[in-house]
Chains A and B, each alone.
Chain A
Amino acid sequence: MDIFEAIKNRRSIRHYKPDPVDDKTVEKVLEAAHWAPSWGNQQCWRFVVVRDPRTRSAVADTLAKVSVDSEWVENAAALSIRHAPVLIVVCAEKSGAGRSGDGALLNEKGEYWYMFDIALAMQNLTLAAHALGLGTVIVGGFDVARVEKIIGVTGDCTAVTMTPLGVPAGKGQVSPRKKLSEVIFMEKF
C-alpha cells in the first residue's frame, strides 16, 4: 500500500470480526514497529502478544470508564480487546531514552522520552496493520499497575499502551482534524 494512502486512511477501529490473525502477520506488524528510530538506538520497546481470551478479558477490565451524556460507561475499546483475536501490550524499558551515555538525563522532559519512542514504534505498527487489512486502536487509559501484574511486567519496564489487532467489522470514523493553518506556524510560534 502507498504510504500516503496508509497514513490518510488509517482509522481507529473499535469493532472487530472474530477472524483469526496468524503469527506471521503479527510478526510483520511488530517488525515494522521495531524499525522505528529511537533515542540513541536504545529500542526501549517491548511487545507482549496476548491471545489468551482470559488474559485479554482481564486486561479489558482495567480500562478507564468514559463519560457519555453524564453517564459512566465502559470504554468501547474494552469490547474491542475482548473481541479481537490478538492484543498487543507495549511496554517500555525506562532507563534508556532521554539519557546520555553515562546515564544522566539530558533535558527537562526527563525519562519521559520513553513515551516518545514507544509512540514512534506504535505509529509504524498502526500503519503496518492497516496496510495488511487489520485494524488497531491505541489505548492509553487503563490501570497500569493491574495490567503490569496480569502480564507479569518485571524489572525497569512499565506498560505504556496497547492495541487490539484484528479484522475490522465496518469502517472506522474519520475524526475531524484541525485545519493545517491551526497547527502550523512560519518562523515563530
Chain B
Amino acid sequence: MDLFEAIKSRRSIRRYKTDPVDDKKIETILDAGRWAPSWGNTQCWRFVVVRDAAVKAKIADTLKKIKLPDKEVPNPASGAMNNVPVIIVVCARIGSAGAGHGTPGGKPEYVTDKGDWFMFDVALAVQNMVLAAHAQGLGTVIIGAFDAPQVEKILNVPEGYRAVTLFPLGVPEHEGKAPPRKELSEIVSKDSFGK
C-alpha cells in the first residue's frame, strides 16, 4: 500500500471479527515497529504478543471507564479486547531514551525538561505498527487509559520496564470513521509560534 494512502485511510477500529491473525502478519507489524528511529538508537521498546484468552480478559478489565456527566460507561474499546485474536502490549525500558552522556566522568542524566523520552520513542514505533497493520488489512486502536501497574503484574513486566500502551489487532468488523481534524492553519505557523 502507498504510504500516503496508509496514513490517510488508517482509522481507529473498535469492533473486530473473530477471524484469526497469523504469526507472519504479526511479525511484519513488529518488524515495522523496530525500524522506527529512537533517541541515540536506544530502542527502548519491548512488545508482548498476547493471544491467551484469559490474559486478554484480565487486560480488558484494566481499561479505565469513561466519565460522563451523570454516569460512567465502559471504554468503547474494551468490548473489542475479548473477541479480538491478538493484543499487543508495548512496554519500555526506562532510563535510556532522553539520557545524555552526563558530565564527563559522571552519571548519565536526562538532557531536557521532558525527562525520560520513553513515551516519545515508543510512540514512533507504535505509529509504524498501526500503519503496517492497516496496510495488511488489520485494524488497531491505540489505548492509553488502562491501569498500567496492573498490566505490568499480569505480564510479569520486571523492574526497569513500564507498560506504556496496548492495542488490539484483528480484522475490522466495520470501516472506522475519520474524526474531524483541525484546519492546517490552526496548527501550523511560520517562523514564529501562532503567526
Contacts and interface: CB of A to CB of B under 8 A. Distances in A.
Contacts of A170: none
A154 B48 contact: no
A4 B29 CA distance: 10
B192 A151 contact: yes
Contacts of B25: none
B131 A116 contact: no
Interface residues of A, number: 86
Contact of B157 (A101, A112, A189): A189
Contacts, number: 245
Given A7-B35, A109-B164, A118 B120 contact: yes
B14 to A, nearest CB: 12
Given A3-B1, A39-B144, A47-B189, A177 B43 contact: yes
| Chain B interface extent, by class | 35 or more
A80 interface: no
Contacts of B111: 64, 140-141
A34 B6 CA distance: 13
Contacts of B132: 3-4, 7
Given A107-B146, A123-B124, A131 B165 contact: no
B181 A35 contact: yes
A116 B51 contact: no
Interface of B: 1-4, 6-8, 10, 12, 27-28, 30-32, 34-37, 39, 41, 43, 45-52, 55, 64, 66-68, 91, 98, 100-101, 104, 111-114, 117, 119-124, 126-128, 130-132, 135, 142, 144-149, 155-158, 161, 164-165, 179-182, 184, 187-195
19 contacts: A1-B3, A3-B132, A7-B32, A7-B132, A8-B32, A8-B35, A27-B188, A50-B191, A101-B67, A115-B123, A119-B123, A120-B142, A177-B35, A186-B48, A187-B51, A187-B52, A188-B156, A189-B157, A189-B158
